[in-house]
Amino acid sequence: MYSSIIDVQRALSSGVTSVEILNYFLDKIKSEKKLNVFLEVFEESAINQATKVDEKIKSKTQGCLAGVVIAIKDNLCYKNHKVSASSKMLKDFKSIYTATAVQRLIDEDAIIIGRVNCDEFAMGGSNENSAFGPVLNSINQDYVPGGSSGGSAVAVQAGLCTASLGSDTGGSIRQPAAFTGTIGFKPTYGAISRHGLIAYASSFDQIGVFTNTIEDSTVLYNVMHGPDSYDSTAIQQSNRVLPEKESSDKKITVAVISEYNEAKGLDLEIKQKLVQTIEKLENAEMTIKEVSFPFLEVLVPTYYVITTAEASSNLSRFDGVHYGHRSEKAIGVNETYVKSRTEGFGKEVKRRIMAGTFVLSHEYYDAYFTKAQKVRRLIYEKTQDIFSNCDVIIMPTTSSTAFKLNSVTDPVEMYLQDKFTVHANLSGNPAISIPLGIHSNGLPYGLQVMGAVCDEEMVFRVAEKIQRLLND
């Protein structure tokens, strides 16, 4: 119920109020508390918002998202509300301003219902790194929902809101979308302002959405995207996605990367369904072009060298003096820094800060960080080269379905969960994960569509066509 924007609009047209829609979700959240999705429900402010929206509806001045209930990841700022990045370091911290993306939703009369759990400072691929416990996959609670935006994914999967916001640094929207059977979209880098997003790796982070329909992802993207004076990395022109009937009818060329489809560790059932889907696309008169991308094996190492370096820099401000938890046991300045960060940060965040500090050190800077930046440039150029002859690239979102809680204990094995998703972040391209099928183990898995920089329209268009073909 109320699982899409259209559903909400129909309900409002039939006389249901925004407050009634909100109350439905508030009750549902209480009944699904065991999933550990919400760190905080903004009940009071959400009811106030919904009441104002109902008044606007009566006067016919409502925005395009009137009555739509949205959850936000716990690394997005919302004025006068707590935001912690699921870390003890920011426990009880209250934001003094609202993220641009969140504000643009509110301006169109969306209702923000609460903040949802995630991996601490968005560092993780399973949502097991939160200081407040893991989120559970609602299909099977013995399994992870993926990460770092696992709470955002399950909020939509379990029907606790109409849509949710997440952030995607290396796949943190698309991987949990695949694991939960939802739609997860990451735009072109800079398409949606990062103002008000707690930074992990600034040259990678992007705000995106979880929805039940591609149409909803398109609507939310259109509302949130565009220039922002608060974010110098925001693209300084509007790139609104048109309805499909207004878009071009030219024949679509789909690139299939041979190294991805033959990748070691790719689940056989996922591979078979991918091959079948490619055949369906060819039968639907799309041009399939097999291409080579020789950088698969260096994507994850390159990503982790650069992102940990940026994390080391970004998280240096959380020191118990400028920001964040301050140790009560500390005596003197040095102890304040050491003990505050030791107590405030979790194991995975410490691991990445230490790795980032190492690659930025004087002795190893050129050997690791400089070299990784050069490889990133090669990845970008090769990706641009593919898009000079193709409209989209399709690939698996993940190598497998969701794994069991506490089953992946080796950090490197966890990092390799991102091998198909980090590509779009390294090159800055838009990408979406859509449900591809249900595995024989009963868990969902996804298909990823990646588009050219600033061509969100083609990403949505092809994803919609693939979804229709899968449903036929």
| Active-site option among 126, 148, 217, 399 | 148
List, in sequence order, every residue forming a beta bridge with 190; answer none if it has no partner.
Answer: none
Are 312 and 357 a contacting pair, CB within 8 Å? yes
Looking at 227-331, list the stretches that DSSP marks H as alpha helix, in order from N- to C-terminal side.
258-261, 268-283, 296-314
* Burial of 373 (C-beta count, 10 Å sphere; 0-12/13-18/19+): middle
pLDDT for residue 248 = 58
pLDDT for residue 141 = 98
Cβ-based neighbours of 6, under 8 Å, separated by 6 or more: 213, 215
Q: How far is CA 191 from CA 21, 235, 310, 311, 454, in A?
A: 31, 6, 20, 22, 7
Answer yes or no: 152 catalytic.
no
Span 123-166, pLDDT tens digits: 999 999 999 999 999 999 999 999 999 999 999 999 999 999 99
Q: Measured at the alpha carbon of residue 106, what is the angle toward residues 104 and 111, in degrees to the nearest 5?
A: 145
Q: Thinking of the domain 1-292+389-472, which architecture would CATH place it in?
A: Alpha-Beta Complex (3.90)
| Active-site option among 152, 172, 193, 399 | 172
Span 376-406, pLDDT tens digits: 999 999 999 999 999 999 999 999 999 999 9
Are 288 and 281 a contacting pair, CB within 8 Å? yes
- The sign of the dihedral angle between the CA atoms of 250, 391, 205, 177 is positive
Residue 125 CA to residue 105 CA, distance in Å, equals 27
pLDDT for residue 250 = 78
**What is the identity of the amino acid at 280?**
K
Strand order in the sheet with 392-396: 38-41, 111-116, 69-73, 163-168, 206-211, 183-186, 431-438, 444-451, 392-396, 253-257, 287-291
pLDDT for residue 245 = 56
Answer yes or no: 130 catalytic.
no
pLDDT for residue 246 = 54
User: Residue 377 is encoded by which pair of tokens?
Assistant: 């440039």
pLDDT for residue 454 = 97
So where are the chain's domains? 1-292+389-472
pLDDT for residue 249 = 66
Are 186 and 424 a contacting pair, CB within 8 Å? yes
| Spans of the chain, pLDDT less than 50 | none
Helices (H) and strands (E) in the chain, counts: 16, 11
Answer yes or no: 148 catalytic.
yes
Span 36-74, pLDDT tens digits: 999 999 999 999 999 999 999 999 999 999 999 999 999
pLDDT for residue 242 = 83
| Active-site option among 73, 186, 339, 465 | 73
